[in-house]
Amino acid sequence: MTAISIGKTDAATSIALPLRFANRHGLITGATGTGKTVTLQRMAEEFSAAGVPVFAADVKGDLSGIATAAPVTFWDVFGRKGHPIRASVQEMGPVLLARMLSLNDTQAGTLAIALKRAEDQSDFLLSLDDLRWQLQDMQDDRETVCQVYGNITASSIATIQRNILTLEQQGGARLFGEPPFKISDFIREVDGKGVVNLLHADDLMEAPKLYGSLIFWLLTELFRRLPEAGDLDKPKLVFFFDEAHLLFKDAPKHLLESIERIVRLVRSRGVGVYFVTQSPADVPDNVLAQLGNRVQHALRAYTPKEQRFVKAAARAFRPNKAINVEEAVLSMGVGEALVSTLVDDGVPMPVERIKVAKPSGQLGPLSDLERDEAIANSPFRAKYPSVTEGARYIWEFQNRQRAARGLSPLPETEVRERAPMSMDDVLAPLTTLQAARGSHHLRTLMTGLALIAAAGALSLMAGIL
């Protein structure tokens, strides 16, 4: 396989995307309900069949049916509908954190100082509670901090603290913690098919900045962790970024510059990025210019602004005498699209009007039962235990503590049966507990427990031998 087929023209000519140009990025646009997600599903299935792993955010929960046609790993920041994706505050870095916390430049500067100071103190900031503690410490020691790191104000610190609370209310605390997510776990094959990594994102949409920042962080991780790849026959991973406007909307200039840079550089790591959004106007020009493969579904043009978008969308294509692009953009039906991919020496082909081929997997979501089964059979079950699994250990832990104090046990609510599988399973809920308590002592306790457990395992083994 050297190309993936997207669909056919009226004259039954197959229109395809050559795999060797799939890392030259792409754009899928169109008004709501015109077929963007179905096109994404079709392309993701084809990439998977060609042995290319895929990442996609399932924004409306309507992409999971793809599991009936391709191997799928489910991810979910909240750990409910997939394996949790977690990072430390330190790894997320000051720029994306500032975005998640909706900070202005001055506040972002204070946040950057907090991260730097923690680093200088060899204090690793894992959770939002760790960050809160560091900020409190800076506040208590403000005079010295100002001398060493530059001016910080009490009001900046107060705003950050307040916004941390808001982020937590949006569920953001779940993103920070252990076990740390390894981006290389996205790059897998099962029986020659690339694994499709689906991030359950409909809850995340409640916090658009959190969503945008998380997806951009994943892209940054790909750039940081993957080696330089040169020209490949097919990409290492294809990354679909649905609702991409959420990343760009109100983004400060330095974030936009950093997005533009990562998108440009990640190509040489063998990663193709496909932005999915309603209009090409949602994507800044400097990023747009890097998107070689285009699929444009129908647009509507009621207002003068929308009419300008139609003209802009038309100009983005290499002309084809047989097609009146402006007219087509307005009149295409659901599942129809104007397409141009890079061909031959990487030159865009003249635009074609096609009917996107129907995906072979189910359209629409899997049932909860099917999803649960897929998660239960996932090889990452032990490495990234879900919240329900973690909850059981917290519940057991609490009940042991209560029993020791002669208290009655807490009822077993919302906790499913499962036996411990690995040390990670035991450590993960303790981390959650630590985050909940905000205690630094608990981290020491955890390390201690891990050591005791390891020593116990060793003596057990010695006993058996």
Chain residues in the site for Mg ion (CB under 5 A):
36-37
Q: Which stretch binds ligand ATP (CB under 6 A): 32-40, 282-290, 307-315, 419-427?
A: 32-40
Task: Quote the least distance from Cβ 205 to ligand ATP, whole Å.
Answer: 11
**Closer of 59 and 183 to ligand ATP (Cβ):** 59
Long-range contacts of 317-324 (CB under 8 A, 24+ apart): 317/348, 317/350, 317/351, 318/348, 318/349, 318/350, 318/351, 319/350, 319/351, 320/350, 320/351, 320/352, 323/351, 323/352, 323/353
Residue 194 engages ligand ATP in binding (rule: CB under 6 A): no
Residue 353 engages ligand ATP in binding (rule: CB under 6 A): no
Beta bridge partners of 347: 343
- Rounded distance between C-alpha atoms, residue 290 and residue 208, angstroms: 24
Residue 356 engages ligand ATP in binding (rule: CB under 6 A): yes
Restricted to residues 113-142, the positions that interact with ligand ATP (CB under 6 A) are none
**Among Mg ion, ligand ATP, none, residue 353 binds (CB under 5-8 Å by kind):** none
- Rounded distance between C-alpha atoms, residue 189 and residue 71, angstroms: 8
Site string for ligand ATP, 295-334 (x = CB under 6 A): ---------------------------------------x
Task: Quote the least distance from Cβ 283 to ligand ATP, whole Å.
Answer: 15
Site string for ligand ATP, 56-95 (x = CB under 6 A): ----x-x---------------------------------
Which DSSP letter does residue 437 get?
A: H
Is residue 443 within 8 Å of residue 434, measured between CB atoms? yes
**In what helix (H) or strand (E) does residue 435 lie, and over which residues does it extend?**
helix 423-437
Q: Which stretch binds ligand ATP (CB under 6 A): 26-34, 233-241, 286-294, 428-436?
A: 26-34
**What type of residue is 42?**
R
For β-strands 336-340 and 54-58, DSSP reports them as unpaired
Residue 343 engages ligand ATP in binding (rule: CB under 6 A): no
Task: Quote the least distance from Cβ 38 to ligand ATP, whole Å.
Answer: 3
Three-state SS at 296: strand
- Rounded distance between C-alpha atoms, residue 464 and residue 292, angstroms: 61
Residue-wise DSSP of 378-400: -TTTTTS--HHHHHHHHHHHHHH
Closest Cα to residue 197, out of 85, 38, 359?
A: 85
Residue 358 engages ligand ATP in binding (rule: CB under 6 A): yes
**Among ligand ATP, Mg ion, none, residue 356 binds (CB under 5-8 Å by kind):** ligand ATP
**Closer of 37 and 48 to Mg ion (Cβ):** 37
**Closer of 202 and 370 to Mg ion (Cβ):** 202
Residues near ligand ATP (CB under 6 A) are 30, 32-38, 60, 62, 334-335, 356, 358, 363
